[in-house]
């Protein structure tokens, strides 16, 4: 009963428009006061602090700051220019640029929301000029941004790893192949939908000169993700240490290579933006420490495990059930709080059933990310729709084939765990 009250209050507070962090903390505090949990109120601030007291979480503000520095340095334009040079000769070229650009941006920002905003602000108006439907432009921008949290560096992998005591560096490596697979499937869907709807059937011819000119700036933008992957592959640094390295590399690129961060005002603006984003995420994580403590006292993990085990003990069946539940909750709860609330309890189930923790982690994060493009909440949809000035309902129809692409990617990942375990196994073994 107390568990139902906890989640009921949380959903009610979110529906009322309360900030996510406040809703999580207040619902947990209400259950402490109303239920007989024997929790002294002096424990509340301790649990809130414990929610953030993680070495792995130090990577979050560093990766966000590196992404802000790269964006302020004009990386988005350079990535779009390179993507246009690579796939601009394909029919429906701007749809392909949107997809390829999302793959490249994933290695810069580590955030799907940031990818949606950065690419959408440039590509959606340009796609409209080329005759693309605004709803379609917004839909593909939001859908392809789901690659962002899967390809390293990923803020969501940092959050998941800190909550479940899973190696963040190994999660980064585990996300590489699934992220690239998602990108390839998205490109196929973008080509087919653009061709069927008659978008941009006379693309620009391929040009070696244009590719050469765009490659220098694009490769410089790829330096940060390349260093991140190389440092983790070689064991040179942990994920948190790599975050610091990423900031230093982004700062050098912004000051020297791109020359866009030379003034105090520019640097102050970047730091301020990164601080706001980091504070919002860490505040959610902090109050979730209290929420998780209440769930533990309510024996939520045991209840969940008993319920799932009573239905089936087959690991694959249980994994599919978890995915279906996350898809349902993801339609109403944003990605980060969804992970924070459910990652630890369902990770326990995965361990009990002998599921590989890296494969399980990538499946969970990918499933949660699909919620970001699922109405009625759909955080990425809200961002893209705001840029395109179209209501969320208008994006539903053009989203359908991209939902299919995401579900196909998820099904492939579930069916073939080697997609997530191959690279970490090679590095570790």
Tell me the average pLDDT across 423-428.
84
How distant, in Å, are the alpha carbons of 52, 58, 165, 291, 344 from that of 55? 9, 6, 11, 20, 17
Residue with tokens 């649990």: 47
Tell me the average pLDDT across 353-380.
92
Please give the pLDDT value at position 20. 83
Tell me the average pLDDT across 183-203.
84
Task: Please count the other Cβ atoms lying within 10 Å of the Cβ belonging to residue 42.
Answer: 7
Please give the pLDDT value at position 130. 82
Mean pLDDT of the chain: 84
* CA–CA gap between residue 243 and residue 152 (Å, rounded): 11
Please give the pLDDT value at position 160. 92
The b-or-e profile of 218-229 (16+ CB within 10 A means b, else e) is: bebbbbbbebbb
Structure tokens at 270: 């970047």
Res. 305 pLDDT band, cuts 50 70 90: confident
Higher pLDDT, 202 or 132: 132
CB 247 within 8 A of CB 267: no
> Which residue in 298, 363, 296, 287 sits closest to 325, CA to CA?
363
Higher pLDDT, 294 or 421: 421
Q: What are the tens digits of pLDDT across the range 85-134? A: 787 777 777 888 888 888 888 777 777 888 888 888 888 888 888 888 89
Q: What are the tens digits of pLDDT across the range 146-177? A: 998 899 888 899 889 988 989 888 999 999 99
Res. 323 pLDDT band, cuts 50 70 90: very high
The b-or-e profile of 324-344 (16+ CB within 10 A means b, else e) is: eebbebbeebbbbbbbbbbbb
Please give the pLDDT value at position 428. 67
What's the number of CA atoms in the CB half-sphere (13 Å) around residue 179? 30
Q: What are the tens digits of pLDDT across the range 242-259? A: 888 888 888 887 777 666
Please give the pLDDT value at position 320. 92
Q: What are the tens digits of pLDDT across the range 60-98? A: 888 888 888 877 777 777 878 888 778 777 777 788 888
429 pLDDT exceeds 60? no
CB 358 within 8 A of CB 175: no
Taking every pair of Cα atoms in the chain, the longest distance, rounded to a whole number of angstroms, is 72
How distant, in Å, are the alpha carbons of 85, 119, 188, 200, 316 from that of 90? 10, 19, 11, 9, 39
* CA–CA gap between residue 201 and residue 115 (Å, rounded): 26
How distant, in Å, are the alpha carbons of 26, 86, 135, 138, 373 from that of 127? 43, 17, 11, 10, 20
Lowest mean pLDDT, pick from 48-52, 192-196, 315-319, 352-356: 48-52
Please give the pLDDT value at position 137. 92
Tell me the average pLDDT across 372-385.
88
Task: Please count the other Cβ atoms lying within 10 Å of the Cβ belonging to residue 400.
Answer: 11
Res. 57 pLDDT band, cuts 50 70 90: confident
Please give the pLDDT value at position 260. 67
* pTM, entire model: 0.86
Please give the pLDDT value at position 257. 64
């Amino acid at each position: 009963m107390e568990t139902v009250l906890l989640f009921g209050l949380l959903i009610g507070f979110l529906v009322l428009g309360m900030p996510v962090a406040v809703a999580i903390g207040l619902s947990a505090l209400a259950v402490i006061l109303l239920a007989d949990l024997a929790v002294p109120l002096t424990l509340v601030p301790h649990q809130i602090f414990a929610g953030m007291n993680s070495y792995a979480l130090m990577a979050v503000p560093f990766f966000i700051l590196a992404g802000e520095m790269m964006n302020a340095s004009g990386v988005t334009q350079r990535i779009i220019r390179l993507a246009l040079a690579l796939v601009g000769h394909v029919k429906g070229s701007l749809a392909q640029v949107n997809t390829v650009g999302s793959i490249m941006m994933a290695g810069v920002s580590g955030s799907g929301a940031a990818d949606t905003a950065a690419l959408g602000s440039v590509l959606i108006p340009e796609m409209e000029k080329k005759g693309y439907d605004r709803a379609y432009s917004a839909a593909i921008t939001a859908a392809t941004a789901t690659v962002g949290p899967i390809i390293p560096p990923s803020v969501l992998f940092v959050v998941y790893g800190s909550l479940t005591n899973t190696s963040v560096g190994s999660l980064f490596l585990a996300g590489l192949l699934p992220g690239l697979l998602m990108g390839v499937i998205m490109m196929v869907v973008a080509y087919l939908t653009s061709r069927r709807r008659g978008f941009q059937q006379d693309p620009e011819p391929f040009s070696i000169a244009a590719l050469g000119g765009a490659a220098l700036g694009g490769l410089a933008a790829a330096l940060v993700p390349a260093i991140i992957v190389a440092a983790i592959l070689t064991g040179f640094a942990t994920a948190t240490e790599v975050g610091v390295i990423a900031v230093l590399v982004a700062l050098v690129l912004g000051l020297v290579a791109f020359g866009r961060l030379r003034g105090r005002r520019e640097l102050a603006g970047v730091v301020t933006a990164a601080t706001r984003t980091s504070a919002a995420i860490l505040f959610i994580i902090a109050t979730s420490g209290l929420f998780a403590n209440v769930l533990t006292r309510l024996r939520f993990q045991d209840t969940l495990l008993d319920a799932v085990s009573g239905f089936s003990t087959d690991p694959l069946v249980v994994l599919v059930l978890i995915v279906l539940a996350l898809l349902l909750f993801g339609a109403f709860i944003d990605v980060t709080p969804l992970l924070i609330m459910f990652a630890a309890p369902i990770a326990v189930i995965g361990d009990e059933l002998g599921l590989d923790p890296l494969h399980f982690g990538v499946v969970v994060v990918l499933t949660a990310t699909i919620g970001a493009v699922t109405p009625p909440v759909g955080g990425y949809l809200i961002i893209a729709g705001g840029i395109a000035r179209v209501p969320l309902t208008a994006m539903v129809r053009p989203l359908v084939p991209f939902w299919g692409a995401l579900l196909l990617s998820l099904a492939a990942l579930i069916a073939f765990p080697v997609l997530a375990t191959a690279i970490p196994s090679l590095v570790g073994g």
